[in-house]
Amino acid sequence: MRICVVGAGAVGGMTGGWFAKAGHEVSLVARGAHLEAIRRRGLTLVSGGKPEVHPVRASSEPADFGVQDAVFICLKTHSIAAMLPRLSALVGPDTTVIPAINGLPWWYFFGEGGRFDGQPVACLDPAGTLFEALDPRHILGCVVHAAAEVSEPGVVRHTAGRVFLIGEPDRTRSARAERLAAAMNAAGFEARQAEDIRVEIWVKLIGNLSYNPVAALALAHMNDIHGSEALLALIREMMKEAMRVAEAYGVRIPMTVEERIDIARQLAGAKISMHQDVDKRRPLETDAIIGAVVELARKAEIATPMIDAVYALISERAKHL
């Protein structure tokens, strides 16, 4: 397959590296010192403790690569609006686009079938320009349960997990998803088609929208949060509120709050992504991870006082980075 990864940082670099190792024709869209290192030496992926160098095509310009079979978007959500119109050269009639991103995706209501079917999520796509930039029929939903880090320019270290859940926005099982999952599994991923990708989005999201801003505001590692009854009480309330919002849109979370917290405990002493972004003074993914849930709560007339309060705090914190 011809595969382009747009945003070849941590998860993107890991994705490109596994596909390259399996013999696919891989192109990476990257920037800065990371891009220059990949051009000079290839992409080094450290997985299972063993570094392997993969010669791949790399550029800051998607137009350099031509039409692809699959395009993985592995960007921070605030970078998507500027990049999406630039992807047109990669997308042919049969190209599958897989946004492997955090939070509620901009395409959430495409094919959803409810009363908001086809509408944009206003805080993520206020003018509806993302749907104009990319025909959503190309999109295959994706939820990533894997972690990696860029340890130095050109070097990506896989740190945990290999699970990629994919699914059609309209909940059908498709041949393109089956083909992609097979290619991914042959390349070392643990990929499968989800029965309902929106359920998987919410399962991950209720953890992200609670732990990420709390960790970023408190500068707390995961074990710090789990060692604090006060912070855990806040996490529980935020999760309960988010579950009520999901249910208002026909999504039932298939686990209890305590079961979701037990999953988060597996991260032990990790410094999670929004905490890392605060430390490095990078933009925060506040709208995709929290603001979109606040927006959906207001539409459904669901009260979310704890989520609202934390959203106000983390939004103000983000302004001062």
Q: How far is CA 96 from each of CA 17, 115, 179, 215, 271, rounded to the nearest angstrom?
A: 19, 26, 11, 35, 33
Nearest to 131 by CA among 113, 104, 102, 108: 108
CB atoms within 10 A of CB 133: 17
Read off the amino acid at residue 269: G
With both helix axes pointing from N to C terminus, report the angle between 229-248 and 257-265 in degrees, rounded to the nearest 10. 120
Residue 118: CB atoms within 10 Å? 13
**Count of positions (residues) in the chain:** 321
Q: What is the crossing angle of helices 197-218 and 305-319, to 10°?
A: 60
The residue among 295, 148, 311, 297 whose CA lies nearest residue 216 is 311
Burial 224-238 (b: 16+ CB within 10 A, else e): bbbeeeebeebbbbb
The C-alpha torsion from 60 through 61 and 67 to 70, rounded to 10°, is 30
Active-site choice (21, 76, 204, 299): 204
Q: Is 240 a catalytic residue?
A: no
Catalytic residue list: 204
